[in-house]
Amino acid sequence: MQMTTGRFRRVFVANRGEIAVRIIRACKDLGIETVIGVSAADRDTLGARLADRAICIGPAAAKASYLNADALIAAARGTGCDAIHPGYGFLSERAGFQRLCVEAGMAFIGPSADAIEKMGDKITAIAMARRAGVPIVPGKEKISSAEELLQAIGDVGLPCLIKATAGGGGRGMRVVRELAAAEAAFKSAQAEALAAFGDGTLYLEKYISRARHIEIQVLADHHGNVCHLFERDCTVQRRHQKLIEEAPSAVLAPATRTAMAEAALALTRAAGYTNAGTVEFVYDIDSDRFYFLEMNTRVQVEHPVTEMITGIDIVREQIRIAAGERLSFSQDQVRIDGAAIECRINAEDATRGFQPIPGLITTWSPPAQTGVRLDTHCYAGYRVPPYYDSMIAKVIVRAPTREAAIEQMNRYLDGFHVEGITTTIPFQRRVITHRGFAAADVTTTWVEDELLREAAETV
Ligand code: ADP
Ligand code: ADP
Ligand code: MG
């Protein structure tokens, strides 16, 4: 049992970057002390300065530090923490890490190991969704050889999508548009999945050609309360990775929104799920139908857009839930107020294939603008290390309308000056000022198929 009663006194942050800062802030709001485990390359990160204590848990390489469960558990125990927040990425979706926390007498701020396990394997998750009456993408089939793939394509039809059962971060996925390309796609997907997850198991689903990515945020406590916080639209992607997210979605009809939220709640209940989670769907623009993709059993990168339109602090709720408290709100109190947009800012050069550009930040000068939230671990004089994800900040705006939010975002990004490293700020400005984005007339492949091609033509 992971649930404890009573408030936590000290929480261990088992992550880095902006999400570590975000977790520390939520703990401060709740009057809880924090200890952060940092790698040798992260001693100067903002999280290390803001936490009550920073402990070095290993060398720069993530394998030896942020993925080193034993070192993290030892540091948390040794500093008298009563709970661990895993953030996103790293160990956040490892059932074994959850179990180690609990065995060491600490609460894991997230779902049970059982729920992580069930949702971590996409085939198991899909089976559970089907039983809960949630629509799933047609033609789900496990494939273990190129021959099986050809057979499955016979049933599913083209185009189709090869995916990894252990997948995440858009890796191990290949679209197959013609039979001749199937075998090569199978081999490269398998190799990528093996390298990324140590598991090359693949499955096939029908490829939705004109798709949007829409997901539902859920929160559930240990007292049977299960609520949703409406949707986020994460359609603006590159290589199946999210770049910009917004809430609410500009394209969902009210009836579809309700049906999607009900489906997410049904799955959450069927899984006996607790804490924060996200049920992801692919939405077929042409048929107005949605299908279950996966459930992410952790806080999501893009959670702030939901916080901005609902006024609910998701990380604070996560901590309260893990401490055995009830959700601080009921479903009928959750309202959508205005429109929020988030731009992920990466230390990358968008004009050179989004190549990471780490290094010393010499100028870091975000504008002072009301209604805008900047989630970051960076500051002037901070050196962005080359070892980790290249996201350095998230800019989140909220305004009464989507139009006004776009306008605010543009103004903020225009005034946001960063020097010393190259960032995706100019690229994000191009996206949000594009007529296609303004009209919400985009699909998950729009950035690659249109925006980047237009840019290449104008160079
Ligand atoms: P989201 O929907 O929240 O963006 P992603 O699947 O893109 O979810 O992953 C969230 C973040 O965690 C991304 O920044 C990604 O690079 C990172 N991430 C995903 N898997 C891992 C992992 N195994 N180790 C470290 N970071 C990871
Ligand atoms: P990951 O674990 O890598 O996040 P997902 O299953 O969530 O994998 O898919 C990532 C992205 O790939 C989605 O956001 C969507 O853009 C695209 N995608 C996934 N499945 C399909 C599909 N069947 N048809 C079209 N696009 C899809
Ligand atoms: Mg996903």
Tens-place pLDDT, residues 59-74: 999 999 999 999 999 9
Please give the pLDDT value at position 330: 98
Instruction: Answer whether residue 140 shows pLDDT above 80.
Output: no
Instruction: Answer whether residue 2 shows pLDDT above 60.
Output: no
Report, as an integer, the average pLDDT of 23-37: 97
How high is the mean pLDDT of the chain?
96
pLDDT over 70 percentage in the chain = 98
Q: What is the pTM of this model?
A: 0.96
Ligand with smallest separation from the Cα of 17 = 1
Ligand with smallest separation from the Cα of 197 = 1
Closest ligand 2 atom number to CA of residue 293: 6
Distance CA 258, CA 282 (A): 16
Please give the pLDDT value at position 168: 86
The answer, yes or no, to whether any atom of ligand 2 lies below 6 A from the CB of 137, is: yes
Ranking 3-7, 26-30, 396-400, 429-433 by mean pLDDT, the lowest is: 3-7
Residue with CA closest to ligand 2 atom 9: 170
- Name the residues annotated as catalytic: 298
3-state helix, strand, coil in the chain (%, to 5): 35, 25, 35
Instruction: Answer whether residue 141 shows pLDDT above 90.
Output: no
Please give the pLDDT value at position 457: 76
The answer, yes or no, to whether any atom of ligand 2 lies below 6 A from the CB of 237, is: yes
The answer, yes or no, to whether any atom of ligand 1 lies below 6 A from the CB of 242, is: yes
Distance CA 314, CA 307 (A): 7
- Report the alpha-carbon angle 442-443-449, nearest 5: 90
What residues are neighbours of ligand 3 (ion), with CB under 5 Å?
A: 280
Q: 311 in helix, strand or coil?
A: coil
Report, as an integer, the average pLDDT of 160-177: 92
pLDDT band at 164 (very low <50, low <70, confident <90, very high): very high
Please give the pLDDT value at position 1: 41
The DSSP annotation for 164-230 comes to ETT--TTTT-EEE-SGGGHHHHHHHHHHHHHHHHS---EEEEE--SSEEEEEEEEEE-TTS-EEEEE
